[in-house]
Amino acid sequence: MATSSSWRGDAKRSTWKWRPYDHVINSSLRRTVTFPGPASPALTLSPLRRGPGDPCLQIIDGAIWRTSLLASGPVTARITRAAPEAVDCTAWGDGAAEFLDGLPGLLGADDDASDFVPTEPTVAAAHRRLPHLRLGRTERVLEALIPAVLEQRVPGVDAFRAWRVLVTEFGGPAPGPAPARMRVPPPAEVWRAIPSWKFHRANVDGGRARTVVGCAQRAASLERLVGRPAAAAQLALMSLPGVGVWTAAETAQRAFGDADALSVGDYHIAKMIGWTLLGRPIDDDTMIELLAPMRPHRHRVVRLLIESGLAVEPRRGPRLPVQRISSL
């Protein structure tokens, strides 16, 4: 039994607490989604996981546990593969019904790859290995945008830690029988009120912290981007200070399920594409030219190469040390 809660606080003091609603959520809702071919929820949802300690997505005994904050309230969902072509989901919390309404889209049921007929040999081989790779969409723009901002210009392990620290402290309790340490992401008003020293303690520099706060200030308009064409939505994202083409693409991939959102500026992707398709590293401009014939499926191509195991990239050097901004 879990108490559904809402965020309340005094923005002037930047102190936030959870206060229970007058009712108690002790029931669940359930839905099954059936696909025309093999179902692979773990493959579809893997981009949503921000490291193994992500407080919003955990995989335990084959079940995928996800939390989210929807317009109707917080939700905890348990997603499992019920049959070769079916996925079951049980959801708890005030946002359960809304979450289940969007479940097919989240699992990639609406992903249309009917016009994707790759001719490049390696890409075609990857497609044959994973013909049912599906790109899902969360339709939660801020929940995709903020962790992407935290991942700008830093090693992944550092960004994952920052996300974990901030959500653990400022997020809310997960409804239902959620695994320990899972949290619901904070709403926009909480992100806006996080003091600078809390970002500093999470090892988030001032530039990224300001971008997070600025994005949270535009949360209402950001969520309306879900109904716009993907290209127009990405341009709108890039109008935000501190949000460039890479951050917009990473957000569009997850929130909109954009099959063409290419992560230009990524430290690894251009090199991987070059080594895999040409046998040598390339830069972003060359990658864009090389993948141009594969539009509007460039992101799908990247996912296929990585998930099929056909991606090639020579062994990297020593991992970059995590920069501790508190010591700078």
Q: Does residue 325 lie in a domain region?
A: no
Q: What does DSSP say about strands 183-184 and 172-173: parallel, antiparallel, or unpaired? A: antiparallel
User: What does the pLDDT read at residue 316?
Assistant: 61
The model's pTM: 0.88
Q: Are 155 and 320 in contact (CB under 8 A)?
A: yes
2 part of a folded domain = no
CA dist 55 and 183 (Å) reads 5
Contact, 297 vs 257, CB < 8 A? no
Grouped pLDDT means (10 residues each) for the chain, 328 residues: 34 37 62 96 97 97 97 97 97 98 97 96 97 96 98 94 98 96 97 96 97 97 93 95 97 97 95 97 97 98 97 68 44
Domain CATH for 229: 1.10.340.30
Among candidate residues 300, 272, 271, 251, the one with its CA nearest the CA of residue 114: 300
Around Cβ 213, how many Cβ atoms within 10 Å?
18
292 lies in a domain? no
Q: Which domain holds residue 178?
A: 141-244
- The pLDDT of residue 166: 98
Q: How far apart are CA 159 and CA 149, in angstroms?
A: 9
Domain end point (choices 244, 266, 287): 244
The domain boundary residue, chosen from 101, 125, 149? 125
Which of 208, 227, 244 is the last residue before a domain boundary?
244
User: Burial, 198: exposed, middle or buried (Cβ in 10 Å; 0-12, 13-18, 19+)?
Assistant: middle
Structural domain includes residue 159: yes
- Looking at the domain assignment, is residue 293 inside a domain? no
DSSP state of 319: P
Q: Supply the CATH number for residue 66's domain.
A: 3.30.310.20
Q: Could you tell me if 147 and 234 lie in one domain?
A: yes
Query: In terms of domains, do 92 and 172 share one?
Result: no
Q: What is the total count of domains within the chain?
A: 2
